[in-house]
Amino acid sequence: MWTPIAALSFRSTGRLTAVLGASFLMATSAIGPGFLTQTTVFTATLGASFGFVILTSVLLDLAAQLNVWRIIAASERRAQDVANLVLPGLGHVLAVLIAVGGLAFNVGNIAGTGLGLQALLGVDARIGAGLSAAGALALFLSREAGRAMDRFAQVLGLLLIALVVYVAATSGAPLGEAVVRTVWPERVDALAVVTLVGGTVGGYITFAGGHRLLDAGLHGPRAIPEVQRSALTGIGIATIVRVALFVAALGVVARANILGAENPPASVFQVAAGEVGLRLFGLVMWAAAITSVVGASYTSISFLRSLSGTIDRHPERAIVLFTLLSAAIFLLVGRPVRLLILAGAFNGLILPLALGVMLLAAHRRSIVGEYRHPVWLTVAGALTALLMAVLGAYTLVRELPRLME
């Protein structure tokens, strides 16, 4: 029997389709409202030195994604099943953490829909978020949910990329200073690194592309080259957008313009492209957020299905409840910009455990068979997990209490 959730599942029509599909799934999951807000807020705080944070986060992203995607493909198992083979019960712990992190992301996504409609129509962010949550629920219950959301995300995603690049080109940013500070920063911010990595590959995003390829039938040692190309493509897309947004925000900040506290990325587009820029930004912000609501809800519940027979039998109901809970938390807490920053930071704290588990699995023949994981990737992954653990602990102790005041 056809269900709305079935429409959201991935069915490959070819290996190239599978590779590109996984790339765009990861990239569009990363390019959400948190992505836009985090990049803008930290550019305003760090100026040109934020380029160093972007460079660091890209290197850490590469180490994390290449390891995780290859190991999922080689083991031919989902991440929670791999973790349970490493240590019985560990997969259940990972599933819960991913779901909690997905909830944090989803609260931020709901907040992003409110910010988008605020910029587009001038409505209060909470009212916009409530209306958007209702719209998301209607899509979940629609027979054409998967097809409509796929097309909507593709069209609005391309519009988002075009608009960000246009604003970057017209912002008048000090590109020379940005290049210098990317390799020689005046200031390094641990919270910025943790948040950016968490927002790009933290939580469920780490596994979204790998699981999609697994569902599409691309797995086993022979599929590794395609899996690696898919991961590199997804990270490349997300990096291009982040750099363009950084340049746009830097140009606005360099001209001594003050970004609006309630919706920083909107003010970047408004200053750089006028009223039209603000309205178009609101549209693409809302589109990025509402598609991220779907992705985060669906992926988070997919992790929990292995923990509960009830959820496994009724995933549609679980996704609806997950979305309603996300909306309720935002409506009660408010403060959308802070929620978007905290969501990335929290998911960055999950990454060391998730990556560490996958690295342990990579060297167990009972899990990966005859596959041999490259030593350089293991070292890069271990260093990434260790660095994120240290930075995450520092952030938890020193920075997050300040953010939550």
Taking only the tens place, the pLDDT of each residue in 82-124 is: 999 999 999 998 888 888 888 877 888 888 888 888 888 888 8
Residues 405 and 392: their CA atoms lie apart, in Å, by 19
Return the SS3 of 121.
Answer: helix
Q: Give percent above pLDDT 70 in the chain.
A: 80
Gap between the Cα atoms of 35 and 157, Å rounded: 13
35 — pLDDT class (breaks 50, 70, 90): confident
- Model confidence band, residue 11 (pLDDT cutoffs 50, 70, 90): very low
Phi, psi at residue 322, to the nearest 5°?
Answer: -60, -45
Domains, in order of start, for the chain: 4-403 (1.20.1740.10)
Mean pLDDT for the chain? 78
Across 127-136, 161-170, 198-207, least confident range? 198-207
Residue 59 CA: distances (Å) to CA of 83, 187, 207, 242, 334: 25, 19, 18, 14, 33
Q: Which long-range contacts (CB under 8 A, 24 or more apart) does 141-148 make?
A: 141/4, 141/316, 141/320, 142/4, 143/2, 143/4, 143/7, 144/7, 145/4, 145/7, 145/8, 146/4, 146/6, 146/7, 146/8, 146/9, 147/7
Q: Among 9-18, 211-220, 279-288, 312-321, whose mean pLDDT is lowest?
A: 9-18
Whole-angstrom Cα Rg for the chain:
20
Residues 253-305: tens digit of each pLDDT: 777 566 666 667 777 777 777 777 788 778 778 877 877 787 788 778 878 87
* DSSP designation for 396: I
Mean pLDDT calculated for residue range 8-22 = 56
CA distance 336 to 334: 6
Query: For residue 398, what pLDDT band results from cuts at 50, 70 and 90?
Result: low
Least confident of 137-151, 307-321, 347-361: 137-151
Distances (CA, A) of 130 to 82, 136, 270: 38, 10, 25
- Helix, strand, coil share of the chain (percent; to 5): 85, 0, 15
Whether the full predicted model's pTM is greater than 0.85, yes or no, is no
Give the per-residue pLDDT at 86: 93
DSSP output for 300-312 = HHHHHTTT-HHHH
Give the number of other CB atoms < 10 A from CB of residue 136.
28
| Minimum mean pLDDT range among 179-183, 213-217, 363-367 | 213-217
d(CA 25, CA 7): 15
> Does 241 score more than 60 pLDDT?
yes
